[in-house]
Structure 1
Amino acid sequence: MKVKNPMTLLRDMAEEQLTETTRALGGAQQQLQQAVAQHEQLQHYEQEYQQSLRQGMMDSGMSVADLVNHQSFILSLKQVVKQQEGHVDACGKAVDQVKENWLQNKQRLNAFETLIDRRAAAQALVQSRHEQKLMDEFAQRAGQKRERL
């Protein structure tokens, strides 16, 4: 079994961490989308209920008890909408935090890949110089053999 280069091992670990962070980012974005959609539904429902209250008052009038019930329900809806706004904000902050972690992990992976590429390039240069030296020595020996003959 071949022993892995430590830098390659670190790159692989950084890649796994980036994959996990990518999954977490997807989950956080999905939660945010769901929270936004629920917030929009609640706002729409509140608007419909207010419109229903206005329509009921204009059409045939309402009893005081019905008016109080409608207004109370609308206030409850407003509170729920406000709570949902807080949830949307919290989800947005969570997405921002995970996105920041993702960027850090991506930069770390890129750094390892750059170091590995530089090392490979340096090794290739050393190998090329070594091969050139061998070729020069071979050519020199061949030239010396020709001179002897």
Structure 2
Amino acid sequence: MLELLPNELTIECFEYFYIFHLFYSFNGLNDRFNKLIRNIPIHVSFDHVCKSTFDHFCKQLLSNSEIKQQIYSLHLSNKDTCRQIDRFLTLIPLNELLHLQTLTLTQLDRENIVKLKSMLAISTNLFSSELISSPTDEDQIISVLPISNLKTNYQCYHYDHL
């Protein structure tokens, strides 16, 4: 039984869960699990995530600021989604994710760039950034990124318009 394991082992087990399943299964179950899942670094990838899962997790972030402080990496995508990047940035500005170190954005569009400009300027913990956009947007994206603040790397990839 998971409830009988010591906290250290339970946290180690939790780190192997897909983050959305972890929160769906254990958040609100009891005080012990609530405290434990708020002590693990969160690596969130919304790539290939359905809208209901995306919305549910965003509600979790909005209702509990502690969870925002646990996010160390974030992957948002506009590919095959309903403008996921814009929706996320409207609900949760990146500058509220104080421990965010790695950011990946797929199929970034011009509207996203406008929002990112102010948010990324004050994201001081960002170590790495990977942006996947159209070739025409690369100059705008580079002007937005605080490249001098990035500790390890910045990569910009292009996708082909069909």
Bigger RCO of structures 1 and 2 (CA < 8 A, at least 6 apart): 1
**Greater fraction of residues in helix:** 1
TM-score normalised to structure 1 length: 0.20
**Greater fraction of residues in strand:** 2
Larger Rg, first or second structure (1 or 2): 1
